[in-house]
A and B are shown apart, each in its own frame.
Chain A
């Protein structure tokens, strides 16, 4: 099954480009560490999922590029073409001349309706090119105007036009200390709208990735390209072909569907966090070895203690003793820092994956009581190594990972809203105070739901 990627705004397009680069370089790599047959199967599955082939044999990404101003898209298209390994379809992009000005209302209420037909037309064409459509993957930031506002509108259109398809929104959480002054407004409006149309929101926080670049990857002068490459690696580690839980030798035919099934049992809980280990500088890779028990132990503690990366984990945090967690209580007995999960998915890639013991992730005390632990936890594996890492483990988690950031963004936005600052910029384009209030209400509800897990 194929996935159609929709890249929205500057951030979406810059990240999308890095993702396809990463996928391509992974399948061309000779560090598969598995049998030739396995490798071939992997390559074929990846290609079907993300690319179609031109006559010349060059893979063409199944993607639609959308932006309201032309600079980024033209850069993205030319960088891809120059790589020689893959490219974008020259027709599959839509841009205008003047951007959205960081204004969510401009993106949603003005650009959205105005360009709906053209954009959906491009999406339809990519969808028709797929033998079997597995769903949509949109990449956007919350802070700006196009990715956030137009992105929310496009997601709604996707839902209307493809009611049976899966939609996964990849959302970039901006740096806490401002990239855009009205980013909290834009974020609140985006999240509340996406919550209605999307199946799940997969979140990456700039602050977290920045720390990974600084502390784990040892990059001195971190550029957005560095940040985007780490994000691309993490996304690749989730979306590259993998054998689903039931075993069998076939790669999963329905990646997005499988993801939703395992992680989103209830529509009120759609926020997914992503962790990937190990992350080390590329030139250290040949000299480093990892053991699965070590990796799994770290990953589990990262989950429990809500650690952002494998350094600086708080090992003091422990799951609550059995018998102390009751479903609808306000969890006063649970240790405050403990991260309760609804569902978790671990993806293992590389050497000796089938021998790995993941029992520690099935501990019922990690989860709410709604699902049986064997349903709340899933593991997917492939012996095919990913992106030169001999062993790589990813965790996609529907848990309280994003509770604090969400609460923080809503708090700051509310603080600003109380003073009515910048509101005139939004009402100018048709987003009124009631719309803000609706969004705040939706998100307070989400916060409350996640808090009382």
Chain B
């Protein structure tokens, strides 16, 4: 069994990360009734003997003493991290896993990347090494951050770079929260585009998330609950947005519901690697199957169902509905419509009481309405995990490598150009040591190249298919 380490950077990264650890504990508590430290737990948690401080009856079969998250919390201001350390999750983290500063990055990518990056490099490397040493077989780093600010965006991508240098064999999965159009941070387009270049070059997989989509999903759920027209009640702990049953049942903060969605994304992504199933899908398989060309590693994700009704019986019609929903526009975690764009590859990770025939039936049913690239007409990767998420009998995570990310990138570029043409706020960046105008031009050119790659693929969509002629053998 392998381990993964979560690196949460910046305010957004840490808030999402906090929700992730909370829900992860909830999930394992539901499965692991005997309190034994098993292999599934060890993928994200260490078992520490609090008296000696070292790893306790570490491996498997020993009782749980004290669980420590395999995480690194990084923020250049103290507010968020301090809150976590004073909250109910405080025992999961120790001081050796934190890197904080006081003044923040002022929503400036250059401050995060160049200034703090330089300053904290050694500290970060040392703490990463420590976390890695506690791992038997480290497979993946999960970075959680936002793109629009300064710390998450700048320092986050600096850490990404660092991980590639120091741990080249370990996968780097990045969950990036992209800014929306009405973002109140004026310089968010700069920060995002500068960060994009780093993601293009150093990440193995990126799971973009947009606040607008999360917000829409939260609203949808609230409407459903408040309308009460269905007559049946919703299982509270099944809501993809809820914290019910987790450690932190007090004051829910405004972003908690949205962050829970992202936390659930990560839990579902890693479920097959942690729990058993008839067709396992490990993290390295995700990267292998969904990334046909190195730079095209942006995956659009969708989670269904958003909630479960309290009645137990699930006819297969409802199961099929789950599959249909996964491809609908309003379940995607970014503002995109994969159904009307071109699929390069698609992965379906099913959890719970679903069998291979259900998968096959739904793939057959949905395939005709989806456009796949000519060289990957049957491009489906599937996984079956037996353990469902808390509150559900089954669930589905769909990951798509689809050209529908293109509009998001084009819009980002446009917002960037609007500022850049007027050279607005540029001086804040250029005054940082190591920052030059070329950083900007290179970043936007990297983004343009990426958009162009997607364009070239889109052009082939719907066109006539001429299969290449096969090798001829002399008879």
Q: Which residues of A contact B (CB under 8 A)?
A: 10, 14, 69-72, 75, 97-103, 145, 175-182, 210, 213-214, 219-225, 227, 410-412, 414-416, 418-422, 424-425, 440-441, 444-445, 448, 452
Contact = CB atoms under 8 A, between A and B. Distances in A.
B278 A98 contact: no
Interface stretch (B149-157, B286-294, B330-338, B407-415): B286-294
B473 interface: yes
B380 A177 contact: yes
B355 interface: yes
Given A97-B137, A224-B278, A415-B467, A71 B380 contact: no
B245 interface: no
Given A179-B279, A181-B290, A223-B356, A440 B471 contact: yes
A321 to B, nearest CB: 26
A178 to B, nearest CB: 4
A416 B378 contact: no
Interface string B355-372: 111101001100100000
A445 B473 contact: yes
Given A97-B1, A97-B2, A410 B470 contact: yes
A178 B379 contact: yes
Given A101-B282, A179-B279, A452-B475, A411 B470 contact: yes
Contacts of B379: 178, 181
A100 B284 CA distance: 8
Contacts of B289: 102, 180-182
Contacts of A75: 276
B381 A178 contact: yes
Interface of B: 1-2, 39, 136-137, 139, 276, 278-280, 282, 284-285, 287-294, 316, 344-345, 347, 355-358, 360, 363-364, 367, 374-382, 384, 467-468, 470-473, 475
B288 A98 contact: no
Nearest to B467: A415
A410 B472 CA distance: 13
Contacts of A222: 355-357
A70 B467 CA distance: 41
Contacts of B290: 181
Interface-central residue, B279, B292, B381, by most chain A CB under 10 Å? B292
Nearest 5 CB-CB pairings of A with B? A101-B284, A178-B380, A222-B357, A97-B137, A421-B292
B136 A97 contact: yes
Contacts of A176: 378
Contact of A425 (B39, B291, B347, B380): B291
Contacts of B139: 98
A221 B357 contact: yes
A440 B285 CA distance: 24
A180 B381 contact: yes
A335 to B, nearest CB: 22
Nearest to B316: A221
A181 B276 contact: no
Contacts of A72: 276, 280
B356 A99 contact: no
Contact of A101 (B287, B358, B364): B287
A444 B358 contact: no
Contacts of B279: 10, 179, 224
Given A221-B316, A424-B294, 6 more contacts: A101-B284, A180-B285, A181-B290, A181-B376, A415-B374, A415-B467
* Residue from B280, B344, B358, B472 whose CB has the most chain A CB atoms within 10 Å: B280
Nearest to A72: B280
Contacts of A410: 470
A178 B384 CA distance: 14
A419 B375 contact: yes
B288 A102 contact: yes
Contact of B475 (A98, A179, A421, A448): A448
24 contacts: A10-B279, A10-B280, A69-B282, A71-B276, A97-B137, A99-B285, A101-B287, A102-B288, A145-B285, A177-B380, A178-B379, A178-B382, A179-B279, A180-B285, A213-B357, A222-B356, A223-B355, A410-B470, A412-B378, A418-B468, A420-B293, A421-B292, A421-B293, A452-B475
